[in-house]
Amino acid sequence: MEKKLFNEEFKLRGLELFQTLEEEVKAIRGNQAGQNACMKFIDEGRDLFANGKFAEALDRYMEVGKRIEKVKNIPDTRGKNWSKEHVFDSVIDNPGSIVIVIFSAIIGLAIWKGFPVIDKLSEPAFARGLITFVICMATVGLAFMLVCYAFAESSDERFKRAREIFAGLLGILGTIVGFYFGAASTGPVPISIADILVSGAEVATYVTGGVPPYQSAIKATGKFSEKDESVTAPKEPRLVSQNGWVRYVFAKPIKEAAIEIDIKDSQNRSASKKVDFRVQEPAKVQP
């Protein structure tokens, strides 16, 4: 019974001590970041006292005392240029803001320059490079935050939780990287060109594989059906196809010709198809 009363009395005294510290912290001006950090330790100390963890609560009490002295030594720079000590203290107390500013600057630059980032994410090659860059930046940023919190003499328990979160994020990012890099292991689909069809003055074919759009060029040597006139190039000897269909229109119907179509996709992979075309003479009817 006496021990219980002693513990209750000790708790009350401890809470009074933290109340005194809180009033002292609130009286500080010009360093909001340091003030917030002190208040966090005060709240933790109160919870520890309330749960009977007196040794850990006293550690928080001593830590708050050190921080108060540190914060008091930093002059009030409101409306003035920040001193190096003030900047360093603010970074240590809130390093996440630096990482947020860096990422915001990168995103703002991409929007300002008009980079088609979202549209190009469907391209595995571009997505792999972008995701690799983002993961490197995120890893360095998180590591920077952990180092700053370590300098801030945060509790071991919070530091362990931060490491666990960091490891979890690396696992998630690793899964994303594995997906995009694994997609490249299948290799590109080769370009395939269907048989060339000739109908009168039209020449057509269909392209599959590769990465559209496709650039096509045609070469033809031979004769038109009218007066055995030599075949001349179509009005548009070079075409760009989004859906794979390639269609050329010559000035006159073709009688016979050697035709070659060259295809190149957006990744500069190329293929070609040739055909020797001759109009079939109608079969003679026997009398």
The predicted structure's pLDDT at residue 16: 72
Pairing of strands 270-278, 254-264: antiparallel
Pairing of strands 254-264, 192-193: unpaired
Mapped onto helix, strand or coil, the DSSP state of residue 149 is helix
pLDDT band at 191 (very low <50, low <70, confident <90, very high): very high
The class of domain 192-278 in CATH terms is: mainly beta
- For range 51-75, the mean pLDDT: 70
Compute the distance between CA of residue 226 and CA of residue 255 in angstroms, rounded to an integer.
8
Compute the distance between CA of residue 72 and CA of residue 137 in angstroms, rounded to an integer.
35
Helix axis angle for 156-183 and 124-151, nearest 10°, is: 170
Q: What is the 8-class DSSP label of residue 230? A: B
Range with the poorest average pLDDT among 140-154, 163-177, 242-256: 140-154
Q: What is the 8-class DSSP label of residue 279? A: P
pLDDT band at 255 (very low <50, low <70, confident <90, very high): confident
> Cβ distance 96 to 152 under 8 Å?
no
Q: What is the 8-class DSSP label of residue 184? A: G
The predicted structure's pLDDT at residue 265: 92
How many of the other CB atoms lie within 10 Å of CB of 119?
9
What are the Cα distances from residue 38, in Å, to 25, 42, 48, 127, 220? 7, 6, 15, 43, 83
CA 102 to chain CA centroid, nearest Å: 14
- For range 37-47, the mean pLDDT: 76
pLDDT band at 271 (very low <50, low <70, confident <90, very high): very high
- For range 154-162, the mean pLDDT: 67
CA nearest to 208, candidates 188, 230, 178:
188
Percent of the chain whose predicted confidence (pLDDT) is above 90 = 14
Does residue 4 register a pLDDT over 60?
Answer: no
3-state helix, strand, coil split of the chain in percent (to 5) is 55, 20, 30
Each residue's pLDDT tens digit, 93-120: 565 666 677 777 877 777 676 666 667 7
